[in-house]
Structure 1
Amino acid sequence: MAEIKIEKKKPLWPWIVAILLIAAVAYYVFIQDDGTNNNMRVETENAIGTDTIAK
């Protein structure tokens, strides 16, 4: 009789964890906005706008 070699499947969960970690890092770096840039831009626009109106 011929010998049948059976290979065990490699676990899938390490790949899922790795993808989730990469997605979390990408979210933190690229998508998350702490709001400092928007607040500074609005304050600058307001300061310039009120100075030109007051003169």
Structure 2
Amino acid sequence: MAEIKIEKKRPVWPWIVAVLLIAALIYYMYSSDNETQSESNVEIENTTSAQ
């Protein structure tokens, strides 16, 4: 009689956690980039209006 090899399914939740972490990292990088750009724009506007 032949052996039938049965593989157990791997859990899906580690992939879900990894995708959420990557999405959170991308969101953090995007939001911090916009805040930095906004602050530098304010500084440029203040220096040009003072002259």
- Identify the TM-score tier after normalising by the shorter chain: 0.5 to 0.7
Give the length in aligned residue pairs.
Answer: 50
Unmatched tracts of structure 1, length 5 or more: none
* 2:24 paired residue number: 24
In structure 2, list runs of 5 or more residues that go unmatched.
none
Runs of 4+ in structure 1 deviating by more than 4 angstroms, as ranges, are: none
Greater Rg over alpha carbons, structure: 1
Change over 3 Å in CA distance of 1:5–1:49 after alignment to 2: same
Identity across aligned pairs (percent)? 56
Query: TM-score, normalised on structure 2?
Result: 0.63
> 1 or 2, which has the higher helix percentage?
2
